[in-house]
Amino acid sequence: MTNTPQTKPVAVITGASRGLGLELARALAEDGWRLVLTARNPEALASAETELKARTETVALAGSVVDDDHRERLAEAAASLGGASLLVNNASTLTGYELAGAAMPPLADFPLPGLLETFEVNILGPVALTQLLLPQLRARHGAIINLSSDAAVEAYAGWGGYGASKAALDHASATLAVEEPELRVWAVDPGDMRTRMHQDAFPGEDISDRPLPVTVVPAFLALLHERPASGRYRAADLAADRAVDPTEGK
């Protein structure tokens, strides 16, 4: 069946102005999705919107996922397009404040306002946005992708706040999957990538050996096309599974 403008599915993507969020938006646009995008930087988001509007119907709203009114506007925008079939909770913060070239703080010295912001952006915001979009997602047997990290399951010095918030997001994803069996709820560790966030975590270091975000996008598309069971996945494993899939291309 050919997708008409009215039947093309709708995806809501947070943190969509750069990095992995923008690459996912580009890929979904090429895959026939309509988009509701958000990010905190209005200039960067406007640039992404201009590019993506040439490919698909796109609504871009600048703001923070910790803002109650902004989340409402995102849900309303998705509803105005016919309802969301996919939510990608990609927006994240390392520390809740600008590191400005400083090292990641150990928990002993973690500024508590920054720790609170970290948990608000990385777990409270995604859960709250999910709550608003659940009626739309349920109606379409939709899916949720929550961006995780290896820091959620491994202890790295300086990554305690970020890792703990991602561990909480992993657990929320697993619980939601049990409570919403008609949906797909995937927590995905994309692996290290050559992004501004990764550079912020390693100030002054050469990260040119890390892969670009676009290289992990096929793993996310595989999730959407194949709809495996809800759960926690590593993008590297998904890519490896597809590389050895004997049915590939048949």
Q: Assign 51 to helix, strand or coil.
A: helix
Q: Which residue has the tokens 């939601």?
A: 176
Note whether residue 121 is domain-resident. yes
137 C-beta neighbours (distance < 10 Å), count = 24
Note whether residue 250 is domain-resident. no
Note whether residue 97 is domain-resident. yes
Note whether residue 222 is domain-resident. yes
Token pair recorded at residue 128:
């709250």
As a residue count, the chain comes to 250
Name the residue range of residue 137's domain.
10-244
Contacts of 172 (CB under 8 A, 6+ apart): 123, 126, 127, 146
Q: How far apart are CA 143 and CA 182, in angstroms?
A: 9
Note whether residue 3 is domain-resident. no
Note whether residue 126 is domain-resident. yes
125 C-beta neighbours (distance < 10 Å), count = 23
- pLDDT tens for the chain, residues 1 to 250: 445 556 899 999 999 999 999 999 999 999 999 999 999 999 999 999 999 999 999 999 999 999 999 999 999 999 999 999 999 999 999 999 999 999 999 999 999 999 999 999 999 999 999 999 999 999 999 999 999 999 999 999 999 999 999 999 999 999 999 999 999 999 999 998 888 888 888 888 889 999 899 999 999 999 999 999 999 999 999 988 766 444 443 3
Number of domains in the chain: 1
| Model pTM score | 0.93
Note whether residue 128 is domain-resident. yes
Q: How far apart are CA 146 and CA 115, in angstroms?
A: 20
* CATH number of the domain within which 94 lies: 3.40.50.720
Note whether residue 2 is domain-resident. no
